[in-house]
Every structure is written in C-alpha cells, then in structure tokens.
Chains A and B, each alone.
Chain A
C-alpha cells in the first residue's frame, strides 16, 4: 500500500507569512494528489487536484506543486481564514490514501 507522510504535523505562523507543507508518497504516484483544508467540526474542502490544479473558487494564494513522490502546498500570504488543518490525498481508480494532516496554528 502507498503511504502518504506530511510534514510538519503542526506549523505555527503569522498572518502574512508564506507557508509550505510537504507531502511525501512511499512510491511514485505521478501527479495524482489532492489537497484539502478542514476546519474544526466541518467537512474537508478541496483546494488542489492533480498536484497543481486550483479548484474553482479557491483563492490564488494557494498553490500546489510536485510529482512522483514529493509534493508541496504553499500559501503565499497566510490569511486569518487559513488557520486550519490541511490533508494531502493520493487518488487513483482503486485506492485513496490521506496523509496524517498538518495543523496550521496562529503564532
């Protein structure tokens, strides 16, 4: 099975900071990676699919990059609404695997 490992587990940052979250796959997954944002008590929200495609309606300060086994989610200028937990997810047509999550906290 493919394992997805995110780092860091927790990140403390201030409004306006540039934030980068990393997701590593245990084997190559091409670009079949999505990123989600989740706030407490809410369902996850899709941000990025196919590693770098921005979902409609998602602010352009969010961007994704990578391929193969290493991927990043970048928030160019952290906003108050961005404090949340972020998950990467590998997807194909038979198995879906989430990372363990990265919590972005207020510094």
Chain B
C-alpha cells in the first residue's frame, strides 16, 4: 500500500525559505522508473506542478519557479524534500507530494496535502 504524507510549517513569513518534507511508504525511490513530484494549489485555484525527482536522482523543475526550488531525496529515510526560497504571499497554497511509477510520469498516488500560508 503506497502512502505519502507532507509535513512542514503552516506559516512562513515573506522572504523566508520554505522546507517541506514528503515521507512515503509502500515503494522505494531506488526502484527504476519511480518518481516523486510536488504540486501546489492556491485556495480556490488550479493545480500547479512544481518539481519532480526520479529514482536515479534526475530532477525536473517548473520553468517559472526553477530559480527558487530545490528537490532532494533521502532514500534511507524514504523522504523527498522540497525547498522554496524567497516566499511571497502569492505562494500561499496547499502543497501536495505525489508518486509516479511510470515514465513519462503521471501521478497515481497523492499525499493529503499541507496548507502553507505566507504572511507577516
């Protein structure tokens, strides 16, 4: 059974760096073809893909946010970490992590999401 869960701060101040952790079970990020992605959703708005990391440590970033994002994995802990620098109120959103077992990657299992509010 594949599960993912996001964790991190619920409130960050403008200009701060956000660090979110996705802790997963039921699969290994060392298995060929597996990836974990991050997607966000501002309140009442559409989904936006942010980043994805593959089993072989290949990384992909949204072109519009590439300069602010870093995605890493810790296979020993079954975790994927996303950092986003220079947070702004427009970054207020629910942040989801999701699993992909295919190439190209689509997201077949999702975490419950975590709401991050950016406010001073």
- Measured between C-beta atoms, what is the minimum distance from B5 to chain A in Å? 11
Which parts of A16-65 form the interface with B (CB within 8 Å)?
32, 34, 36, 38, 42-46, 49-50, 55
Q: On chain B, which size bracket covers the interface? A: 20 to 34
Whether a CB of chain B sits under 8 angstroms from the CB of A69 is no
Q: In the A-B complex, list the 5 residue pairs whose CB atoms are closest, starting with the nearest.
A: A43-B110, A96-B49, A98-B47, A34-B106, A93-B104
15 A-B residue pairs with CB within 8 Å: A36-B47, A46-B108, A50-B106, A87-B47, A89-B106, A92-B104, A94-B60, A95-B49, A95-B62, A96-B37, A96-B49, A97-B49, A98-B46, A99-B46, A101-B46
Chain B residues near A (Cβ < 8 Å):
37, 39, 46-49, 52, 60, 62-63, 96, 98, 102-108, 110-113
